[in-house]
Copies of this chain bind each other. A is one copy, B any other.
């Protein structure tokens, strides 16, 4: 069923039917009702393509998910983020277009989305330091919002980020206050902007507490379970093992925990852990009492908010860039305790 057919069955022009359906005022309430009813009954849905052609808007938003060909690693937060964004889109009648793409051809994908006109805007995932995509998208004049920020980029753009520096500073502060002096950091890939900020927070806290940095206590890598395991194992094997660890994700924290117990130690007694928790739906941090002490911030909520931001900007392109900084809350669980007294 298309507009033409619908209007014929109604004995009206396409113009009138279109206007009735889209809420224009040049239609009497009576006919509007009649049209709405007929459309409903015929299960009429306007063709997105035709509508897009006529209006110049795609009613779709693109998500370009970068993936290193090296590791073929899919970021585990991706699912929950997309779920949050998806809710916002369906509420506003947008479609979500996903492109999985390896880093090398990423820019070509943005160009393609723009020139083929498949999307009205895009969400940029996983910003790196000095990320070149921001300049590219500005160039292309393709509206975008960024999940995170890109240090080193001087132009102003819309983003939503967790205060990663502050979160990791607080996590480290918390451990210092418990008396820990040797605190390890299991960080994400530090080419990623968020990991860079987290390290800063960690370092800053240690310096504030007069604790010297120890490079052997700081690792960086893709946040898998195995990475958390190996990093922790290595730290624990050193001559001066840490009494506490700050981890960048629940998943590597699980690995860290495994390493601790493989060494016959007990997490939360012999070694404390504070982890960042993205509140992934399949990794609930305990049902009542949290297992891990953590800095938590829902990535799903972030997806929802960021999608709304983009939709807002699309509705009014004259708006200045929107920027949202979320604070992560520190939740104390069972994985932390005062440092074992030396000697």
Q: Which residues of A contact B (CB under 8 A)?
A: 1, 43-50, 52-53, 58, 60, 65, 67, 71-76, 78-80, 82-83, 86-87, 90, 95-101, 111-112, 115-118, 222-226, 230, 251, 254, 257-258, 261, 280-284, 286-287, 291, 300
CA distance A72 to B280 in the complex (A): 10
Name A283's contact: one of B78, B118, B251, B261 (CB within 8 Å): B251
- The answer to whether B283 and A225 have CB atoms under 8 Å apart is yes
Cβ contacts under 8 Å, A254 to chain B: 225, 254
Q: What is the distance, in angstroms, from A69's C-beta to the closest C-beta of chain B?
A: 10
Rounded to whole angstroms, the CA-CA distance of A152 and B320 in the bound complex is 55
Given contacts A72-B281, A79-B76, contact A116 B86 (CB under 8 A): no
Check B76 against A282 for contact (C-beta < 8 Å): yes
In the bound complex, CA of A96 to CA of B76 (Å): 19
Copies per complex of this chain: 2
10 tightest Cβ-Cβ pairs between the two chains A and B: A86-B100, A45-B115, A74-B79, A49-B52, A78-B79, A76-B282, A79-B79, A45-B116, A73-B281, A96-B98
Say which residue of B50, B75, B78 sits within 8 Å of A53 (CB atoms).
Answer: B50
* Distance of A172 Cα from B49 Cα, bound (Å): 52
Q: Is the CB of B96 within 8 A of A44?
A: no
Contact (A46, B224) CB under 8 Å given A80-B74, A281-B71: no
CB closest residue in chain B, given A63: B98
Q: Is the CB of B67 within 8 A of A83?
A: yes
10 contacts across the A-B interface (CB closer than 8 A): A45-B115, A49-B49, A53-B53, A65-B86, A76-B79, A86-B98, A95-B97, A224-B281, A224-B282, A224-B284
